[in-house]
Structure 1
Amino acid sequence: MQEFPEIGILHRRKIEAEIIKPIYEILIRNYGNKAAKAVIEEAVAKAAIDAGKAFAAKEPYGTSVESFVALQHLWEQDDALTITVVESSHEKYDYNVHRCKYAEMYKEMGLAEIGFLLSCNRDSKFIEGYAPQVNLDRPHTIMMGDGICDFRYCLRVKNDE
């Protein structure tokens, strides 16, 4: 049996968006914009959590900030992101995105309105499924019109109660 190379996440998101776009348009027509966005948000969030759990299940030594960093090439493949790493340690992974082909792609596809739901919103949901002990703070996104995406991953502080 022939094995096919794994496609990059950027290409995968394009295929997904091509399928989601007509579904989204029908949802808007039948239920309105707000309901359509809510359905897309819920479905994509669930898929991202499930994907995070699937990746976590493949980690032989459990998940950590470091194991997550080792996966980053998947999102960067095909020059999808231009980033600068601010800090990388066993407790933190901070980086800034200066160019995001995901945002460019959704805009070209006429999906900029839901690009955040299709891509950016996945980030916090993926880490929730992959490594619930890791928190993501990202107050800015290119998708929402900011100049950068500022990703700040860190281990959650444990309460000593």
Structure 2
Amino acid sequence: MKTIYDVPIILRREIEALMVKPFIDAFEKELGHEKTYEIVKKVIFDIAFKEGQEYAALFGRNDLQAIRMQMEPWSSNGALNLAWSGDGKKHLCEDVLECQYVAMYERIGMKDLGAVLSCGRDEPFYKGMNSKIKMTRTRTLMEDGKCCDFVFDLEE
């Protein structure tokens, strides 16, 4: 293993979640739920945005095909079952049909935080990758939707 990028993403998320949960609980006791989650969401946003920039640099591209490339490590070891559609140049749809991240967060008793710690990264990640990528999603498996329905449009 040479870098953090060599560690499967799902394993990284589990380690991160187990590490951060005691801090979130402690801050929540001091600051309350709303303020704590506001801070957590801001930190996750900043981390994800920077990570999107790093992946664009790593791939040497930041178009919609980079999204497909980026999903390979997120899907490794059967972590995600994906269905793709769209032209892949200006418009790309990705449905996540099965998500082992949900199962992992349930197993460690943190499904409520999964939406913040994992799903909450998505939009800022893609904005970091390319500010012209518009991501929309109306539901997630983490929040009991039948799938995660990503739509990516590359704006002019």
Aligned pairs, how many? Answer: 155
Bigger CA drift: 141-150 or 86-95?
Answer: 86-95
* Match runs of 1:8-157 below 5 Å: 8-60=8-60, 62-156=61-155
Q: TM-score, normalised by structure 1?
A: 0.89
Q: Which amino acid aligns with 1:44?
A: I
Q: CA RMSD in A?
A: 1.7
Displacement of 1:3 after TM fit?
Answer: 4.1
| Higher percent of residues as helix | 2
Once residues 149 and 69 of structure 1 are traced to their aligned partners in structure 2, the CA distance between those partners, rounded to angstroms, is 15
Q: Is the 8 A contact 1:69 1:93 kept in 2?
A: no
Q: Is the 8 A contact 1:82 1:100 kept in 2?
A: yes
SS for the counterpart of 1:99 is: strand
Once residues 16 and 35 of structure 2 are traced to their aligned partners in structure 1, the CA distance between those partners, rounded to angstroms, is 20
Q: Is the 8 A contact 1:37 1:114 kept in 2?
A: no
Radius of gyration: which is bigger?
1
Displacement of 1:59 after TM fit?
Answer: 3.9
Q: Which amino acid aligns with 2:110?
A: L
Q: Is the 8 A contact 2:63 2:89 kept in 1?
A: yes
Unaligned runs of 5+ in 1: none
Once residues 79 and 55 of structure 1 are traced to their aligned partners in structure 2, the CA distance between those partners, rounded to angstroms, is 21
Q: TM-score, normalised by structure 2?
A: 0.91
Unaligned runs of 5+ in 2: none
Over the matched positions of the two proteins, sequence identity in percent amounts to 24
